[in-house]
Amino acid sequence: IGYLAVGIGLLAVLDRGRLNATTGGFLLFAIFAFWRCITSLWTAFPEATLIETQTILQMVAMVWLLHQIAFSQKRLMSVMQAYVLGTFVSSVDTFYQYLHGVNPGQSRFYASGFDPNELALMLVLSLPLSLYLAGSTRSWALVWIYRLQTILAASAILLTASRGPFLAAAGVVVFLPTVFSR
């Protein structure tokens, strides 16, 4: 799906006939991604590194695509909403796995088709987005959906028993006073 999205995005950029200027943040991200890809030259596990390199290149392509297509505030909000609602689904599936006793004998639960650590990290990334959206919308129904997503995502992070994303989620606590002041 990512390759299809990039292909369609390239067609949209060609149709528009111009590129948006590259930002310093994207350049730093691209340099970091380049460095991560170069490390494949001295890796101990070339097969795993090749898969990670492909993932990194996909992320750079998607961030570039978002920068080219989601250039208005309204489009950025739509992309954030799509991401948050997608993690809502993953959180519900994580709870489904937990409630139905999938993976008996394990203390980790996660949505179907996900690695627990990667899922937890995706959920952590959704927390500030959800809080931002809740603080910037006027619709009380959407505010409650974002609040529910925040609670579900935080609970699903605990169910994944993933230590790194749990620590990253603790950083979201710094963001909370800003949101609740609104």
DSSP 98-110: HHTT-STT-S---
Type of residue numbered 8: I
Q: How many CB atoms lie within 10 A of CB 66?
A: 16
Residue 104 has pLDDT above 60, yes or no: no
Q: For the chain, what is the total number of helices (H) and then of strands (E)?
A: 8, 0
* 153-174 exposure pattern, b = at least 16 Cβ within 10 A, e = fewer: bbebbebbbbeebeebbeebee
Residue 57 vs residue 174, higher pLDDT: 57
The model's confidence at residue 105, banded by pLDDT at 50, 70 and 90, is low
6-61: pLDDT as tens digits: 888 889 889 988 888 888 888 998 999 999 888 888 888 888 888 888 888 888 88
Q: Which residue has the tokens 């609104």?
A: 182
Q: What is the pLDDT of residue 71?
A: 73
pLDDT digits 0-9 by tens, 80-89 = 999 999 999 9
Q: How far apart, in whole angstroms, are the C-alpha atoms of residue 107 and residue 38?
A: 36
What is the pLDDT at residue 172? 82
Length of the chain: 182
Q: Which amino acid is at 43?
A: T
Q: Give me the DSSP letters along 10-62.
A: HHHHHHHT--PPPPHHHHHHHHHHHHHHHGGGG-S-HHHHHHHHHHHHHHHHH
Q: What's the rounded Cα separation, in Å, for the pair 34 and 118?
A: 21
Q: What's the token pair of residue 4?
A: 């299809």
The pTM of this model reads: 0.76
Averaged over 133-162, what is the pLDDT? 93
b/e for 112-128, b at 16 or more Cβ within 10 A?
A: eebebbebbbbbbbbbb
| pLDDT for 73 | 85
Q: Contact 67/23 with Cβ under 8 angstroms?
A: yes
Sign (positive or negative) of CA dihedral 54, 83, 166, 27: positive
Average of per-residue pLDDT values in the chain:
87
